[in-house]
Chain A
Amino acid sequence: MPDATFFSLRQVTKRYGALTAVDGLTLQVERGEIFGLLGPNGAGKTTLIHCAIGLLEPDGGQVLVAGGNPREPQVRARMGIAPQVLSLYELLSAEENLAFFGKLYGMEGARLKQRVTASLEFVGLESRRRDPVKNYSGGMMRRLNLAAALLHDPEILLLDEPTVGVDPQSRNSIFDNILALKREGRTVIYTTHYMEEAERLCDRVGIVDHGRLLALDTVEGLLRSQGGLPRLVVETGGKEVEVFSADPLSELNRMAEAAPIDRFRLEQPTLEQVFLNLTGRTLRD
C-alpha cells in the first residue's frame, strides 16, 4: 500500500544571517489534497516553497517529495511550480514559452505539441497561443504561468500566490483550474495571504508566521478550535448589541423576548479571526 504522505517537511530551518525565515517547521501533505499555506507577507511562505522544491538547501531538517530529495533532478521532474514572480519570456508567444519549457523536461515531437495544446486549453489561452506574452493582461500571464507549471504533467503542484494582481474573472478561472486539478488527483500546495482563497480551495490549511507553523487543520477544524464563537450583532432601540455565543439562535430568541429587534446579523468565525486569535494581528498587518 503506497504511503499517503507525498510531501513532508521535518524540522526544516532556513536562516538568512540573523533572520530565521523558516524555524523548525514540520508538516506533511497527503497525495491528492490541496494544502494551503496561509500567512501574511514576509511570514516565510516563499522561503518554505523554495526549500520544498530544492532551490534552497535548508540549514536544518529534511524535505522529502515522493520519498526523494527535491534537489535531485528526477524528483524535481515530478513537481510543477507557478512562482509568485511571473516566469515567462514576454518576447516569445505562449506556445513558444511552453514548447521551450517542455524541451527542458525532455519532451519533444507529438508529445510536446499535445502537452502544449492541452495546457493552453486547460487555462483557456488556446485562442491566444501565438500572441507574444507581452501583449497579455496580468490575469492571462498568471494563467500561462500556471500552464507552464502543468506542462510536464507533474504529480505535485506548488502554487505561490497564484492570484496576486489578477482581475476577478481570471481569479475565478484559476480557482476552477485548481479544483479541476484536485479532481484529477493531483497534490497541490497553495500559498496565499487571502483567507477567502484558502477557505474556498483548501482541504487543510497551515497557518504560518515568522517562519513557524502556528496551526494546521482542516478549515472547519481551525475555525472550530481557533476561530472562537459566532458573533451575533443585534440592533434594538437604536443601539447595537454584540454577543459571542455557541448557540446564537437561542440567544436571539432570548433578546427578542426582552425587547423588539430592529435588525440583526450573524458572523461566523473566519480564518482571519483564527489568525488574529493566534497572532494578535490581522493577515494584512
Chain B
Amino acid sequence: MSAILALAVKDLRLLIRVKSGLFFAFAWPLVIAILFGTVFSGSGGGGSHALAVALADEDQSAGSKEFAALVAKSPDFQVRPANRAEAIGLVRKRQQAAALILTKGFGEASQQMFHGTPPKVEVWIDPSRQSEGAMIQGLLFKLTMEGVQKKMSDPGAMRAGIRKSLEDVDRSTAPPDQRASLSRFLRSLDTTFGNMPAASTAGGGRGARWEPLSIEQHDVAIQREGPRNAFEITFPQGMLWGVMGCAMAFAVGFVSERTHGTLFRLQMAPIGRFQLLAGKALACTVACLTIEATLVTVGRLGFHVVPHSWPLLALAGVSTVAAFVGVMMLIAGLGKTEQAAAGVGWAVMMPLALFGGGMMPLAFMPRWTAQAGAISPVRWGILAFEGALWRGFSFQEMLLPCAILLATGAVCFAIGTRTLRLT
C-alpha cells in the first residue's frame, strides 16, 4: 500500500509542478462554469431589474416636474434626464431601453378633471424591445393612478381642482346641456369632498383613502421543475470538463513515463503491475475529486449552486471519477507516444463532450444528438450531478447513471490495462 501511495503522491506532485497543467485542470473548468453561467443568466447573475429610460421634460411645469419625480423615485425605472434629441439618441444607440418625453401642456392637462385633453407622454422605444414598451406603458399608468389616488385622498386639493374645472366648463364652447350636466356633477363632487373631515385623510387614516385596486403579493413555495439558475447547469459541465482534462493529463503523463524511461525504473522496483496501475489510478482519482470538490465549493459559496442531496452528489462525483479513470487508462494504453495519446485522447473526448452535453445543455440540442449522447459518459455524469443538484433524484433514480458510469470505468480500465505496454 505504501508503494501505491508513493506513486500517487509522486504523480500529484508532478501535476502541481506544471503550472499550465494546474491551471487547465483546476482554474479552467471554473472559468468555463462561471463564464457560461453568466452568459446563460443574461443579467450577470443578479442585480437591478429596473428599466433604463431617458426622460425629457419639455413642459417644465409643476405638474410635469411632479410626474418626473414620481418616475425617478419608482423602483421600476432607472432614469437618465435628457432633452428630446438626447433621449431618442440614447435609445437609437441602445444605451437606454426607452425615451419618455413629457410634452408641452403636460402640467396644465394633469390639473383637469373629467374633461379636456389628458396629459401626454411620448414613449420612444427600440423596435426589438416591444415587450418592454408594453411594460413601460403599464408602469406609467400605474404612476398616474398613484397621482390621482394621492389627489383624491386630499379633499382640499381635490376641491381646488374641481373649482378650476367648473370655471373651465363655464368658459367652454360645449353644448349647453353637456356643460350643465358636467357642472352638476362637479358641484356634487365638491359638496361630497367639502363634507369630508380633513383630519380623517390628512392624518393618513387608512379607512378614507381610495385606491382603484389593491394588490397583495405572497410568495408561494412552488415545486421546482428546473435549475434555480444557469450556474446549476454550467457547474456540472465544468466539473466534467475538469475531470476530462485531468484524465487526459494523467493519460499523457503515463505514456510520458514510458517514453522517458522512468517506467523502466518503476518496473525494476519490487512492485507488481497491479500496484503500479493502482498508484496511477489513485493519483488520477484524488486529482479529479479535488477538482469536483473545488467546483462544488465555489458554486455553493458564490453562485447559489445548492445540492438537494449531499450524499447523492458524492455518489455522482465518485461514479464520474471512476468512469474517467478508466478512460484515462484506455487512452494511456492506446497512445504509444505523448503526441499520439493526446491526439487519441481528445479525438475521443471531444465527441463524448459534444454529444454528452458538455458543450451545450442537452435541452438545447437537436433530438437525435441528445439521443446519441446516451453512449457518452459525459452525459451520464452531467445527469448524475444534475440529479443531485436540482433534478431532485431519489437514490433509485441515481442508480442508472451511476451504474453506467461505473460500468464504463470498469470496461475502459480493463481494456486499457490489457493494451498498456509497460516497456
Measuring CB to CB, which residues of chain A are less than 8 angstroms from any residue of chain B? 50, 53, 55-56, 73-74, 76-77, 79, 81, 83, 85-89, 91-92, 96, 100-101, 103-106, 108, 148
Contact = CB atoms under 8 A, between A and B. Distances in A.
A12 B282 CA distance: 38
Contact of B270 (A85, A92, A96, A105): A105
B269 A105 contact: yes
B272 interface: yes
Chain B CB count within 10 A is highest, among A77, A83, A103, for A103
Interface stretch (B57-65, B78-86, B258-266, B366-374): B258-266
Interface stretch (B11-19, B231-239, B390-398): B11-19
B223 interface: no
B261 A103 contact: no
A56 B17 CA distance: 33
A96 B260 CA distance: 17
Contacts of B272: 73
Contacts of B74: none
A92 B13 contact: yes
B261 A87 contact: yes
A85 B261 contact: yes
A83 B265 contact: yes
A106 B261 contact: no
B11 to A, nearest CB: 10
Contacts of A56: 423
List the 3 closest A-B pairs by CB distance, nearest first: A85-B261, A73-B270, A103-B6
Nearest to A100: B10
Contacts of B131: none
A186 to B, nearest CB: 17
B106 to A, nearest CB: 75
Given A87-B265, A100-B6, A106-B2, 19 more contacts: A55-B267, A73-B270, A76-B270, A79-B268, A81-B268, A83-B261, A83-B264, A83-B265, A86-B260, A86-B261, A87-B260, A92-B10, A92-B17, A96-B13, A100-B9, A101-B269, A103-B2, A103-B6, A106-B3
B50 interface: no
B271 A73 contact: yes
Contacts of A55: 264, 267-268, 423
B337 to A, nearest CB: 14
Nearest to A108: B2
Contacts of B270: 73-74, 76-77, 104-106
A74 B3 CA distance: 15
B269 A76 contact: yes
Interface in B1-34: 2-3, 6-7, 9-10, 13-14, 17-18
A-side interface mostly: loop
B-side interface mostly: helix
Contacts, number: 65
Given A55-B423, A100-B10, A103-B3, A88 B267 contact: no
A91 B261 contact: no
12 contacts: A55-B423, A79-B268, A83-B264, A87-B262, A91-B14, A92-B13, A101-B269, A103-B2, A103-B3, A103-B6, A105-B269, A106-B3
Contacts of B260: 85-87
Chain A CB count within 10 A is highest, among B10, B260, B268, for B268
Nearest to A53: B268
Contacts of B17: 91-92
Nearest to B18: A91
A105 B7 CA distance: 12
A20 B261 CA distance: 24
Nearest to B268: A81
Contacts of A100: 6, 9-10
A68 to B, nearest CB: 12
Given A91-B14, A91-B17, A92-B14, A104 B264 contact: no
B6 to A, nearest CB: 4
A103 B265 CA distance: 13
A85 B3 contact: no
A26 to B, nearest CB: 24
Contacts of A76: 268-270
Chain A CB count within 10 A is highest, among B3, B18, B265, for B265
Contacts of B265: 81, 83, 87, 101, 148
A89 B10 contact: yes
A108 to B, nearest CB: 7
B58 to A, nearest CB: 72
A33 B9 CA distance: 38
Nearest to B267: A55
Contacts of A104: 3, 6-7, 266, 269-271
A48 B375 CA distance: 47
B14 to A, nearest CB: 6
Contacts of B269: 76, 101, 104-105
Nearest to B9: A100
Nearest to A88: B262
Contacts of A96: 13
Chain B CB count within 10 A is highest, among A53, A89, A103, A104, for A104
A87 B267 CA distance: 11
Interface string B262-300: 101111111110000000000000000000000000000
A135 to B, nearest CB: 13
Contacts of B3: 103-104, 106
A53 B266 CA distance: 13
